Amino acid sequence: MIIGCGVAGPVLAMFLQRAGIEAVVYEGRPEARDEVGAFLGIAPNGRDVLETLGIREEVEAVGIPSPRIAFLNHKARVLGRNPQPVVTLKRGMLTKAVREAAERRGIQIEWNKRLVDLSETDRDTVIARFADGSSAEADFLVGCDGIHSEVRRRILPEAPLPTFTGTVGTGAYTRVPGLASTEGTMYMTFCLNGFFGYQVTDSGEVCWFENFHQKTEPSAAELAGISDESWQRRLLELHRRDHDPIPAIIAAKQETMVRYTVSEMPVLPTWHRGRVCLLGDSAHAMGPHSGQGGSMALEDCIVLAKCLRDIPDLSRAFATYQSIRKERVEHVVKETRRNGDRKAPPGFFGRIGRDLVLPFFLKNGVDLFTEIYQHHIEWDEKVLVNS
């Protein structure tokens, strides 16, 4: 059983199918909501996993290339330009693409199955119970249910909860008359009171995001209760002194506007217990500051499937999967946190220092993320048993 039909759940199911293991995906929502969500980037290492699975082209077809990134200060001074070989996708379109690929391969997806309990049996199986009163039984279960994972809560009740990073984010789509295509460049600005990024597609659609810092964490209900108009006014006040076209993008009529808090998880000491294992954000959620959250989950999928394919003992398979992934994930989480810390408004003198030294950090970042991007996991290579 796989809990969660986001990005990782269907991909894991397809890799398990390739390994000769039948999987069913259970999703708590009553139906697909492909129009919901902002956007995210899939980096080369994540797309490499999709290539191994044979679905890279169909997933990339619903996104836009973002091969370059330019960093600016609030006066539009360019602080640096870096290659960024990322494909930007609307979250709903990405989840739709991987889900439909799984369905074409005969993967069963069950909707309206919100997990409420887990238990193991004396038959070497695990039973999942759902809010609708139904249950399901399988040899093992994988939690792909995100940062607020119910699977994690059930098997690791002592695990730390996600922590608010002090960042509130917005992701949106709009159109601004007269705003030209950025020809694949994502512009990111260290603003006076926040951080702003945008890219204009050849069709004129603007995908943009904004981050600002505050000490207290707003609840999901609080954010949902704020109208788009009120939120736009707040963001316009924060960014009224920043360079064009930032105020115009915020002020435009929005096709989609998603508000969210940015939280992260410390990498857990263990990702499994008994016949249950965690994957992706349920085990190691990170902020959006490096564009690696989705790609790390995709890497998890192929490694876990290989371990289950090659290691008959379930406990050893789970332990080997964790040992292979943990060091790499911790490294990416650390760098992601560092990127996020640099977005905080530094004050007048801090801005002067940042603008002077940032080009040096950007150059180092290219080398660092080139290494992360080049990571390849060979499907045909046999996994060695973790002793």
Give the domain CATH number at 59: 3.50.50.60
Range of the domain at 188: 164-264
Comparing CA positions, the residue from 188, 157, 191, 167 lying closest to residue 276 is: 157
Q: pLDDT for 220-266, tens place per residue?
A: 999 999 999 999 999 999 999 999 999 999 999 999 899 999 998 87
- What is residue 97's predicted lDDT score, i.e. its pLDDT? 97
Q: pLDDT for 339-375, tens place per residue?
A: 666 666 676 657 667 676 666 666 666 667 788 899 9
Question: Which one of 233, 264, 295 terminates a domain?
Answer: 264
Assess whether 13 and 100 both reside in one domain. Answer: yes
Assess whether 130 and 170 both reside in one domain. Answer: no
Provide DSSP, 297-361: HHHHHHHHHHHHHH-SSHHHHHHHHHHHHHHHHHHHHHHHHHHHHTTS---HHHHHHHHHHHHHH
Q: Residue 287: pLDDT band by 50, 70, 90 thresholds?
A: confident
9 in a structural domain: yes
* pLDDT (average), residues 153-173: 94
Assess whether 36 and 135 both reside in one domain. Answer: yes
Q: Kindly list the distances between the CA atom of residue 201 and the CA atoms of 39, 66, 94, 198, 251, in Å, as whole numbers in the listed order.
A: 13, 10, 17, 10, 19
Residue 72, pLDDT > 90, answer yes
Neighbour tally for 38: CB within 10 Å: 21
Residue 93 φ/ψ, nearest 5 degrees: -70, -35
Assess whether 54 and 127 both reside in one domain. Answer: yes
pTM, whole model, 2 decimals?
0.93
CA atoms within 13 A on the CB side of 75: 5
Contact 32, 96 (CB under 8 A): yes
Contacting residues for 370 by C-beta, under 8 A, at least 6 apart: none
Euclidean distance between CA atoms 293 and 305, whole angstroms: 19
Paired residues of 373 in beta bridges = none
Question: Which one of 240, 264, 288 terminates a domain?
Answer: 264
Residue 198, pLDDT > 60, answer yes
Euclidean distance between CA atoms 215 and 46, whole angstroms: 33
Residue 348 φ/ψ, nearest 5 degrees: -60, -55
Find where tokens 């889900």 sit. Answer: 99
Residue 124, pLDDT > 60, answer yes
Residue 142, pLDDT > 70, answer yes
- What is residue 343's predicted lDDT score, i.e. its pLDDT? 63
To which H or E segment does residue 247 belong? helix 246-251
Q: Residue 172: pLDDT band by 50, 70, 90 thresholds?
A: very high
Residue 188, pLDDT > 90, answer yes
Q: What residue type is assigned to position 334 of the chain?
A: K
Assess whether 203 and 235 both reside in one domain. Answer: yes
What is the count of structural domains for the chain? 2
User: Beta strands of the chain (E only): which ranges?
Assistant: 2-3, 24-26, 39-42, 63-73, 78-90, 108-110, 115-120, 126-130, 135-138, 141-143, 163-175, 185-190, 195-200, 205-213, 254-264, 272-273, 276-278
Paired residues of 26 in beta bridges = 3, 110
Assess whether 58 and 154 both reside in one domain. Answer: yes
- What is residue 77's predicted lDDT score, i.e. its pLDDT? 92
Residue 87 φ/ψ, nearest 5 degrees: -105, 125
Assess whether 146 and 251 both reside in one domain. Answer: no
For residue 53, give both structure tokens: 């699975």
104 in a structural domain: yes
Contact 197, 187 (CB under 8 A): yes
111 in a structural domain: yes
Residue 88, pLDDT > 80, answer yes
Euclidean distance between CA atoms 181 and 192, whole angstroms: 25
Q: By percentage, how much of the chain surpasses pLDDT 90?
A: 79
Assess whether 189 and 260 both reside in one domain. Answer: yes
Question: Which one of 239, 264, 289 terminates a domain?
Answer: 264
Longest CA–CA span in the chain (Å) reads 67
Comparing CA positions, the residue from 110, 111, 13, 117 lying closest to residue 55 is: 13
Residue 166, pLDDT > 60, answer yes
Neighbour tally for 289: CB within 10 Å: 22
Assess whether 105 and 235 both reside in one domain. Answer: no
Assess whether 259 and 289 both reside in one domain. Answer: no
- What is residue 354's predicted lDDT score, i.e. its pLDDT? 67
- What is residue 202's predicted lDDT score, i.e. its pLDDT? 95
Assess whether 195 and 218 both reside in one domain. Answer: yes
Contact 153, 232 (CB under 8 A): no
Assess whether 176 and 148 both reside in one domain. Answer: no
- What is residue 288's predicted lDDT score, i.e. its pLDDT? 79
- What is residue 340's predicted lDDT score, i.e. its pLDDT? 64
